[in-house]
Structure 1
């Protein structure tokens, strides 16, 4: 069984590190990370993630 591909969209560095650490401790591989909505759309088109964890209060 393959691992889920996860994309984190978050503009706060400490939050990204926390989420990344938690996911890795649960056995997931290091997720892809985007810090803007535009970057997230581009990455999602390129990688087709199974799950997107997104900050709903992104600046910009």
Structure 2
């Protein structure tokens, strides 16, 4: 089991839930799911994840690359 805390950033709901289920099955702690770049930044600042699993192509004004910067 891993104590790594992961934030998933994915704008497709079914995909983000699938990623969460797989990571949880593998023993990781998914501490949140964000669906936009802006939400990802907000949650990362609040939750301090060990890893952010970021989709590059996101809906909205900010893509995953900009959010990661």
TM (normalized to structure 1)? 0.88
Aligned residues: 59
1:10 and 2:10 aligned = yes
Gapped runs of 5+ residues in structure 1?
Answer: none
Stretches of 4+ aligned residues off by more than 4 angstroms: none
TM (normalized to structure 2)? 0.78
Gapped runs of 5+ residues in structure 2?
Answer: 61-69
Question: Cα RMSD over matched residues?
Answer: 1.3
For 1:52 and 1:16, the matched residues in 2 are separated by 13
